[in-house]
Structure 1
Amino acid sequence: MPMERLLASTAIEESWGESEPVLFLGEWCRIYSRRHKWEALDAVVAPYHWADRTKVDGDRVYLWELHERLLVDLAARFNEIHGVEHGIQYWRILVGPWLGYFTQALFDRWEQIQSAISSFDVSETVVLRGLVDARCASDMDDYLGLGNSWQWNHHLSAEILTGFTDVGVRSIDIGGSGPALTPEDGDPALTPLHRAAIWGSSVLRLFSKASDVVVTNACLRSAKTEMLLQWRLGQSPVLTPVEPVDRCLFNASKRKWVLDPGESRHAGFDECLRSLIPRFIPVSYLEGYRSLVAQAEDLPWPSRPGAIFTSASHFFDDVFKAWCAERVERGSPLVVGQHGGHVGVGWSFNHDHQLAIADTFLSWGWSDPEEPKVRPLGMMKDPVLDENSESPGSRVVLVMGNETPQVASLSSSALSSQFLDYVGAQIHFIEELDWRARDALLVRLSRYDLDWCLGKRLADRLPDVELDDGCRPVLDLLGEARLYVATNNGTTFLESIFLDVPTVMFWDTDMWGLTHLAKPAFERLSRAGVFFDDPIRAAGHVSEVWEDASSWWADPDVREAVEAFSIQFCRRSPDIVGDVRQELVEVRGRP
């Protein structure tokens, strides 16, 4: 007869019971620095439901279709609640990022819980009451922070377990204890130069026209470049800082509604989701909606912009989104620029959303015949190395990626518990390097560890390897690199190739899946010895070429593959500001 186990959903140890056998919902429960605690338990870990990448592909389709249905239903409900008549695109711009993130996060927890209780004999679960982060987010930015809180994730799992399963519940009131997992530092203080630029912008804004192009968070090389773009557009160059949302109070009486049930192959999840959306939707979209709209209308921005250009604010900045949604509905075109890597090479909800809201999308070089919105320009945040950088450098620089312990949104990447498989691949790679390459190796960790304890894991397993804590800019490390090693489908390898730093890439293509656009380019890189899908073969190649990486990088077959890839995914433009300007002028001139 199977042993009964208490189900623990997060790393908060107060939820692990007293001495009974435990079923951990996932690897995120077992923080490496606390292994003396969980190693002493009679505990097993539930297999991760998205370890099956075929399931990931199918669930991605289902979740996007569900997202579209939910937008229609939520738009109708919000129009009724707020006494407005906005279209779907308005609500997609304002609420769409949160709705997509929450739906996918809840589905991930739902599927994992259902899998666990169907595969194990679960006796009960502990639900902790009084957690500080067991609350509704105030806005999208706050929601992104809460998503990295063990307390909030415990609260979300508890809602599923108590409302939609037969698992017994043991309630414990503990107040605000338990690890909160808050990796983000506070916003960096503005420099005197930045403050002066903002003050100057407030003066120059007096000369703005109602039809000027609004440029905000464009993710160009610098604020100076952003202002140059506006000057070349023939308008007053101004900086448009992010405005924090004015705080409003949560009001439970305004949340006593549910979204009407829809048709779904996941009927139980659909019911759960539609009942929890009213309880979890950020205050800025419900109680604070009128305040948010008023705050957006008070912005000293053009009232009828000829175009709106951003590369980041369309995700997290609710004040911008409220302002933007209104202007787009009135006819202003929205231009979105590529913010970083993964886009075009891999798939993600983030990219699906930005294509859905943009009139034009400016890529770093790739195009898609099935998506006419995409305009291939080049790397808009074109990196430069410090002029004092060594050439060539002396190090083998390996930059590690990072993922949230529990899924925030769906993408072709290492999802949740799979991140430990990714870490294992890095360890295998390092162990297989010859001693010379290993002596030259510098491993850059992520600045935000997210409780993976990567530094401790690597130091315990590979005590002779030098680690960088991630606080130095990547470009500084690339300036020291004789050979750069990319280990995930992110941004840095695009920067290294753009800068012509000898680069070797490896990752699991089942996990970090490639788009149909990218596969031919990566096949060419693989034949040239630039890309590998196996850490052992990658280590052998690095050991062979690193001492004279420049000669290997100059090989005609390598050059041909790298240059073709660069043109497609990290193109160098002789005048990227002029290219962006031309696109904005064309968009502005459309009827």
Structure 2
Amino acid sequence: MYFLATTAIERFWDKKKQILFLQEGCYRFSKRNRDINYKIMPSVFSNKEKIHQCLHEVEQTTEKILEAMVPVFNNLHEVNYGKRYWRIIIGRWLNDYIFAVYDRYYSIVHALEIDPNLESIVLDESCYIVPKDFTETLNYLSDDFYNLQIYSQIFKFIGKNFPSKKLVYQIENEGINHNTIRIENKILRKSDTLIMNMSYFSEMVDLMLINKCHFPIESHWIKEFILPDFNICKQTRQKMKLNIKAENQFEDFIISQIFNNMPVAYIEGYRYIEKKYQEHPVYSTIPRGILSAVSYNADAVFNQWAATCAENGTKLIAVAHSVAGSTYSDFEEHEKKICDRFYAAGLITHKDNNKVKVLPSPKFCARIEFEKLENLSDILFISSNIKRYQGPFSWLITLSPNEYSNNQQIFWETLSPNLKKCVRVRLYARDWGQDCEKRWKSFAPDVILESWEILLAARMQKSKVIVCDNFQTTFTEALLFNKPAILYFDYKKYINFLHPEAVKCFDELHFVGILYDNPASAAQLLNRSYLEIDEWWNDNARQSARKNACKVFTGYLKEGVDQWVKELDCLFDDKKEDSKKISYEKHENIQYENLQEYLNGLSGEKIAILGINKIAQYMAQFISQLCHKKIVGIIDENVENFGKYLSGVNINSFQEIMKENPDLIIIADLPSGRIQELYLKKYIPATVKIINPARDLPEPIFRELLNTVFGEHFGRVTIKNG
């Protein structure tokens, strides 16, 4: 008779008996040098048929329960919203929770099939915890305590009255911080604004979109709200009942526990969140559109605001934040259901959903290749990780942690001794109790493990070659940066989860020797080609395969920003601004090599800079040195004041300069050119040309201007490689 250990918490083991570990993650690598009689049960996702079955059953159960929840929540919160509203708020949590419980439930079922008389120890009910929101649920589902709670609930439901123990929950914090803010631009707050939050566009692309699109745009990187502690109202939760009939015992268990485990954000915290977004400087408005790459999948305040906005006609737009390839992504499937438009990355076709359009990935818009550095030697090995407790489908779901680590060991042991000295390993940001560092040190005691203090893109640039042990965004970034890269990844195992276009691309990468289906072959390639890796990488066939992979997986194009501008203008074409009063200086059919050639090619001999700060002064100085045209002054925010920042300019009146120079060229400064341009409409004649750099300059020339004006004088905004 086995003793079933459901988690890695040893207080809940009986080491005197033969232990059956419910999964490999229950017996941590760092604890294995012990005299314990044990057996590890295989995963319920041991083959692709079971994965497909799981995805199908989880989706069916999720839809059934969501439908039944609508009247329950409307009654609880005294509102009258439809299924879409509640899907936006609780849909992602519901799907991931049911998926996780599916894994835990059928693992218990499988264990009882192995030994119907097994024993175990459960968590005392007085110690149960409730997550605050979806983000906290994800953290809980990755640690031991919450999983012990779920297993204990399952045992009780199926009638197994095992002895219990008490345990106080301790937060497992690995130092991941999601509370960063990137851009706060509150100038344009109007009801016809498109608000972008965590769009994954770079700062430069944000600036170009704001200036080129024919409607107001705000771009933010608003941190996720940390909710306060709430008192759990057990009485309220006990009254919440689903009017639904379970079709099997698993669904019966879900229905019995769904409200006990539901985050407080959806029950006790609903009104608090409502007040929170109503008071927020961004979320207090009902905008024309909302665009995000990640916020629909996490932030409770954002989602409740977005749900309310959708009820009032706001268009919800989601963009892919990862590379294309897989036919299934739990977060993308959720976004497709809740949003009016989903923008997928790459050149993958999506014939089954008219909401989906393909555009270049926001994360890779306007990316440029690395500047080539000499005398590089590092082999940067970029690793991923596998959660100890299974979550929604990922590339690594059919690999156990031991198999994944063993592949890394095979790569290391196949590598030549001289090359081992060049290896730098970048572990995944979160360990999830897998003891990844100790695993590496067990077979490579002298290997250098790097921290995340150095930005990954910067580290990639300073490496000679990059090795990835799974298909991830980082590998695609290396291809975009045109950095020698090698991937070992047995993609044929996942053939049923890949788009046909992705399979064809993987076949090509495999044929030219960039992709390998095993770690030994990847290491052997390095042994042969390390010294001539650049020559190997620049082979015509490999470069062709690289470029094709960039297009297939990210949709990367040099005109990517213009494609986004065209698409967004089309999406919101009912309210395009009237631009007849302004003559825009554009040269769409002329190619300019650099900024100097562009400026000299402009019709007109006099230039004024439109701006209100030192940036305008630096632009004036820079442009005056670069071209033969005369800088006649700087227009400040009061418009009437003209030239007071520029020595040698005696003109005091903006109206005066307009009369004397009807063919004047006005160049707006970089950060707020669009705002000032709109303000100027009522002052300038139609003959005056306004150039808005972020909108009107060809992208390479705009980069040159940004690098020169910002980089040289401020050192705080540059075109970043990656």
Q: What is the TM-score normalised by the length of structure 2?
A: 0.73
Question: Tell me, what secondary structure is at the counterpart of 1:108?
Answer: helix
1:210 aligns with 2:207: no
Counterpart contact for 2:348–2:502, Cα < 8 Å: no
Question: Tell me, what secondary structure is at the counterpart of 1:504?
Answer: strand
Q: Following TM superposition, by how much is the alpha carbon of 1:237 offset from its aligned partner in structure 2, in angstroms?
A: 4.3
Counterpart contact for 1:260–1:274, Cα < 8 Å: no
Q: Counterparts in 2 of 1:180-219, with a 5 A limit?
A: 181-187=172-178, 198=184, 201-202=185-186, 204=187, 207-219=188-200
Distance 1:130 1:57 in 2: 34
**Matching residue within 365, 371, 376 for 2:358:** 376
Residue number in structure 1 paired with 2:3: 6
Residue number in structure 1 paired with 2:719: none
Distance 1:258 1:515 in 2: 41
CA RMSD after TM alignment:
2.6
Residue number in structure 2 paired with 1:328: 310
Q: Counterparts in 2 of 1:109-258, with a 5 A limit?
A: 109-129=104-124, 134-164=128-158, 166-176=159-169, 181-187=172-178, 198=184, 201-202=185-186, 204=187, 207-222=188-203, 225-226=205-206, 228-233=208-213, 234-235=215-216, 237=218, 239=220, 241-242=222-223, 244=225, 246-247=227-228, 248-256=230-238, 257-258=240-241
Residue number in structure 1 paired with 2:261: 280
Question: Tell me, what secondary structure is at the counterpart of 1:451?
Answer: coil
Question: Tell me, what secondary structure is at the counterpart of 2:526?
Answer: helix
The one-letter amino acid of 1:478's match is M
1:91 aligns with 2:75: no
Residue number in structure 2 paired with 1:269: 250
Question: Tell me, what secondary structure is at the counterpart of 1:413?
Answer: coil
Question: Tell me, what secondary structure is at the counterpart of 1:574?
Answer: coil
Q: Counterparts in 2 of 1:417-456, with a 5 A limit?
A: 418-456=400-438
Q: Following TM superposition, by how much is the alpha carbon of 1:494 offset from its aligned partner in structure 2, in angstroms?
A: 0.9
Distance 1:551 1:442, change over 3 A: same
The structure that has the greater radius of gyration is 2
Counterpart contact for 2:202–2:363, Cα < 8 Å: yes
Residue number in structure 1 paired with 2:566: 582
Distance 1:480 1:240, change over 3 A: closer
Larger RCO: 1 or 2 (CA < 8 Å, sep 6+): 1
Distance 2:488 2:37 in 1: 37
Question: Tell me, what secondary structure is at the counterpart of 2:487?
Answer: strand
Distance 1:362 1:273 in 2: 33
Q: Deviations over 1:412-431 (max 9, x none)?
A: 4335x723212211211221
Distance 2:370 2:518 in 1: 35
Q: Deviations over 1:307-329 (max 9, x none)?
A: 11111110111111011112122
Residue number in structure 1 paired with 2:19: 22
Distance 1:582 1:419, change over 3 A: farther
The one-letter amino acid of 1:254's match is T
Residue number in structure 1 paired with 2:101: 106
Q: Deviations over 1:409-465 (max 9, x none)?
A: 2334335x7232122112112212233333322221112111111111111112243
1:474 aligns with 2:471: no
Distance 1:251 1:491 in 2: 42
Question: Tell me, what secondary structure is at the counterpart of 1:50?
Answer: coil
Distance 1:236 1:570 in 2: 24
Distance 1:65 1:20 in 2: 40
Residue number in structure 2 paired with 1:390: 373
The one-letter amino acid of 1:15's match is F
Distance 2:224 2:461 in 1: 35
Distance 1:392 1:528, change over 3 A: farther
Counterpart contact for 2:369–2:480, Cα < 8 Å: no
Counterpart contact for 1:214–1:305, Cα < 8 Å: yes
Distance 1:156 1:68 in 2: 22
Q: Following TM superposition, by how much is the alpha carbon of 1:219 offset from its aligned partner in structure 2, in angstroms?
A: 1.3
1:294 aligns with 2:287: no
Q: Following TM superposition, by how much is the alpha carbon of 1:131 offset from its aligned partner in structure 2, in angstroms?
A: 8.2
* Structure 2 gap ranges (5+): 576-722
Distance 1:511 1:66, change over 3 A: farther
Q: Following TM superposition, by how much is the alpha carbon of 1:126 offset from its aligned partner in structure 2, in angstroms?
A: 0.8
**Matching residue within 516, 535, 544 for 2:500:** 516
Q: Following TM superposition, by how much is the alpha carbon of 1:385 offset from its aligned partner in structure 2, in angstroms?
A: 8.1
Distance 1:226 1:403, change over 3 A: farther
Question: Tell me, what secondary structure is at the counterpart of 1:102?
Answer: helix
Distance 1:32 1:386 in 2: 40
Q: Counterparts in 2 of 1:529-548, with a 5 A limit?
A: 529-548=513-532
Q: Deviations over 1:216-269 (max 9, x none)?
A: 1111224x64355334444374636235154332111111133234453xx010
Q: Counterparts in 2 of 1:42-53, with a 5 A limit?
A: 42-53=37-48
Distance 1:296 1:378 in 2: 31
Q: Following TM superposition, by how much is the alpha carbon of 1:487 offset from its aligned partner in structure 2, in angstroms?
A: 1.2
Counterpart contact for 1:15–1:127, Cα < 8 Å: yes
**Matching residue within 322, 331, 335 for 1:350:** 331
Q: What is the TM-score normalised by the length of structure 1?
A: 0.89
Distance 1:189 1:285, change over 3 A: closer
Distance 1:393 1:337, change over 3 A: farther
Distance 2:65 2:500 in 1: 28
% of aligned pairs identical? 22
